[in-house]
Amino acid sequence: MSTATLRLEEIVITHDGHPLIEVSASVAPGEVLTLMGPSGVGKSTLLAHVAGFLPLGFRASGHILLGDSDLGCLPPEQRRLGLLFQDPLLFPHLDVGGNLAFGMPAGGSRRQRREEVATALDDIGLAGFAERDPATLSGGQRARVALMRVLLARPRAMLLDEPFSKLDTGLRDEMRRLVFARVHRDGLPTLMVTHDRADAEAAGGPIIEL
Amino acid sequence: MPSFVTAIRTAPTVALALLILPVLLGLAGVVAPAFGWHPALGGETWTLAHWQALGNTPGLVDMIRLSLFTGLASALATFGIVALCLATFLETRAFGAIRRLLSPLLAVPHAAAAIGLAFLLTPSGLASRLVSPWLSGWVYPPDYLFPGDSLGLALALGLTLKEIPFLLLMSLAALPQCRAGERLMMARALGYGRINAFLKGVLPALYPLIRLPLYAVIVFATANIEVAMILGPSTPPPLAVAVVRWLGDPDLAMRFQAAAGALLQLGVTAGALLIWWLGERLVSRLAAGWLRDGHRLRGERLGRGIGSLTTWLAIGVLVAALAGLILWSLAGYWPFPEAWPAPLTLHAWQQAATGLGDPLSSTVTIGLAATAIALVLTLGCLEAETHRRRPLGAGAQLILYLPLLVPQVAFLQGLVQWQAQIGLTAGWPAVMLGHALFVLPYTFLSLAESYRRQDPRWRQVAASLGASPANVFLRIRLPMLTAPILVAGAVGFAVSVGQYLPTVLLGGGRLTTLTTEAVNLASGGDRRLTAVYALFQLALPAIGFTLAMTLPRLWWRHRRQMLSGDTA
């Protein structure tokens, strides 16, 4: 259970010397901060920077803090941030259970891990799906597996990059409810980038217009 | 795991060293003997005597002329046919068929293709049998000198047939880079015919992208050994073949002349490249007005006719040559002008089976080891690009082509001179490393596009789930790229199987592979046995490609997205 606050202190991202985006913000545990704006404004770049994947040609200054730790000093794999893209990006060479196990921290016997996967699948209404090929799942099922894979990695904060934009309208509401319920329950500070106002309203948190 | 990243970052250095060092050392090793210095052979004074001996060699001018003519003619024919083939077939249904034929044809070893072509076109070959006696009236094999004509036409033809698949494949890789599809659509919407649209709208942008492969074709064609031994004239032979003969001469003094000859070959190849480069200048000067003249349909029908004729003819001749090999391997008594040998017999296969073991096993072990080294270095270089976050620079790209841009006979001979000087034993390890040198450029060219194009979000997702760089590489990137990696391996293996000169020179003549055996047999008289060896030489790469195509289908039969290929 995370209780740390995610703080972006005077983040400035420049592209080839031109300032692109400036943000200072603080996200409390369980709170969703929404960054809204048209495409090309640099909101996805900001998210990539927080996750540790600033693209080539961009430079960033400022501090990214989670509780007391400075994330900027850590390589991406040690930041423990749950990253969700608009595509579920389930690894096509692994089965559904393998995708979930990939997210779980190492340790435990094979049986324990298998049981943990089974519980997690049950949790998202996909009991018995462990050996399925991800390519055979429906869009909504894939989105739920992707969410669960991120949660099983025990993230300390969530980063959502337009996570609902490729879902059908009906599914979209359902996924929003699921994601935000988990975020609130686990007390995860969450940064969401979107251009859909309904996402921001469903999140119920503060909104920064870029 | 920082040690993984450190190790990966050394891969480009190791790869570049593997490519540069042998070439530079080899060239250095050939300079001193050319001027008389080679203590191991008793040469302890600097002298120009060996150059004088070289200059006095009968037929030297003919040798140089042959190298230049066959090299430039085959490069020009290759380029012309590839350009017209693309112009005629790009974005048509037939193009899919041509594309599918490419990899198998590319995998045919040079020696096997040359042997097949020789058996097809020789006076008593399949081609003259098919038209005799009903059309030609020949009851005995006609009296013409082909292959082995003194002009080198057979040699140029053989080189052209084998280089077309290579250049076509390189062009296909370059087409998306110059947005060929959009250019073609734009030009055709403006009323340009298919041929004019390609030649005026796409080719000027495509040419700079295939210049290096084209130079590699010229270098290969001016200095090739095994095709020239099979299809070229023998008195005098092209320069490179003469150099290899001098090198194998029992009179050790000839080694010095061979070194001088190797440097001369370097100059001849450089001369061919210079002539081509001047031609480029001239054509771009002359074409400037033609590009802007606004004619949209001129020569359209002629271009299409030549384009489809030459394309299908090239494919047809190659296929007929290979089919002819099968017939010869099964022939017993086969008098002219019968077109079909009867009865068929397995005698040649049984005869071959006794001596086949050693060459077969050394071909396979050398091929697998060289390919494994090349694949590890290729993957290391490409993964290092990810960590350094920039692709290889232009200089590194050029170095990658280095073994293909320097005549083999020049620097391999230098390496042999070093072997003699330092007392290194020739044999399996030396041959294997020599093969790896020529395999590496091909595995890299084959894999680079797929590796670089893989969606970066895959590794971002994996890393954000806590996977270390080593785990991302081993558990995500490698498995997802199984298919292109196996194809690159098959390409590399095919390249190794086809190598002739590195095996002969670095193996000290003691190591035999299917290729060296096939080339040796081809100069003898036994067509049946030669055909069997050529077919074995052909079968190995074919098996490699078949495995590369089918294994991923078996492995991933329960993973639909892995089969559809959109994992890059």
**Residue B357 maps to a domain:** no
In-domain check, residue A11:
yes
Q: How many CB pairs below 8 Å do chains A and B form together?
A: 77
Q: Is residue B154 part of a domain?
A: yes
**Backbone dihedral region of A8: left (phi > 0), alpha (psi from -120 to 50 degrees) or beta?**
beta
B203 and B317: one domain? yes
B95 at A interface, C-beta within 8 A: no
For an interface test with B, give the residue of A53, A93, A166 to mutate (most B CBs within 10 A): A93
B258 and B110 in a common domain: yes
Verify that B270 and B392 share a domain, yes or no.
no
Given this model, what pLDDT does residue B2 score?
A: 64
Q: CA A113, CA A101: separation in Å to the nearest integer?
A: 7
User: Looking at the domain assignment, is residue A122 inside a domain?
Assistant: no
Dump pLDDT digits (tens) for A156-178.
Answer: 999 999 999 988 888 899 999 99
* Measured distance CA(B547)–CA(B560) in Å, rounded: 19
Contacts of A76 in chain B (CB under 8 A): 460, 463-464
By C-alpha distance, the chain B residue nearest A57 is: B389
Q: What is the pLDDT of residue B568?
A: 47
How far is the C-alpha of B50 from the C-alpha of B63, rounded, in Å? Answer: 17
User: Under a CB-based contact definition with an 8 Å cutoff, are residues B4 and B468 in contact?
Assistant: yes
Using a CB-CB cut-off of 8 Å, the residues of chain B touching A92 are 480, 559-562, 567
Residues of chain B with pLDDT under 50: 1, 568
Q: Are residues B241 and B269 in the same domain?
A: yes
Q: How many domains does chain B have?
A: 2
- A81 contact residues in B (CB cutoff 8 A): 464
Q: Which domain holds residue A176?
A: 6-93+156-209
Tell whether B567 is within 8 A of chain A (Cβ). yes
B43 within some domain? no
Separation in Å, CA of A156 to nearest CA in chain B? 11
Structural domain containing residue B485: 1-37+364-508
Q: How far apart are CA B548 and CA B563, in angstroms?
A: 13
| B389: nearest CA partner in chain A | A56
Distance from CA of B233 to the nearest CA of A (A): 54
Q: Is residue A115 part of a domain?
A: no
Tens digits of per-residue pLDDT, A46-65? 999 999 999 888 999 999 99
Domain match, B382 and B283 both:
no
Residue A180 lies in a domain: yes
Ordered alpha helix ranges (H), B44-132: 49-55, 60-89, 93-107, 110-121, 126-130
Which member of A56, A89, A133 has the closest CB to residue B559?
Answer: A133
Does residue B154 share a domain with residue B13?
Answer: no
Give the nearest partner residue to B561 out of A83, A105, A135, using CB atoms. A135
Contacts of B388 in chain A (CB under 8 A): none
Domain identity same for B63 and B30: no
Joined tokens for residue B285: 């000067």
Chain B residue numbers with beta carbons less than 8 Å from the beta carbon of A77 are 463-464, 466-469, 472
* Shortest alpha-carbon distance between residue A125 and chain B (Å): 22
In a domain, B329, yes or no: yes
Q: Which pLDDT value is given to residue B419? A: 81
Look at residue B420 in the predicted model and tell me its pLDDT: 76
Residues of chain A with pLDDT under 70: 1-2
CATH code of residue B392:
1.10.3720.10
Domain annotation covers residue B565: no
Does the residue A133 lie in any domain?
A: no
Domain boundary among B459, B486, B508: B508
Q: Residue A19 falls within a domain, yes or no?
A: yes
- Does one domain contain both B112 and B220? yes
Euclidean distance between CA atoms B371 and B368, whole angstroms: 5
Q: Indicate whether B535 belongs to any domain.
A: no
B559 has a chain A CB within 8 A of its CB = yes
Q: Is residue B183 part of a domain?
A: yes
Chain B residue with minimal CA distance to A132?
B558
Any idea what the CATH number is for the domain that residue A201 is in?
Answer: 3.40.50.300
> Is the same domain home to B249 and B282?
yes
Query: CA of B470: which chain A residue's CA is closest?
Result: A77
Amino acid at A56: L
Q: B276 and B410 share a domain?
A: no
Q: Considering the domain boundaries, does residue B526 fall inside one?
A: no
ipTM for this model? 0.90
pLDDT at B136: 84
What pLDDT score does B490 carry?
Answer: 94
Q: Which structure tokens are listed for B526?
A: 């036994």
The tally of domains found in chain A comes to: 1
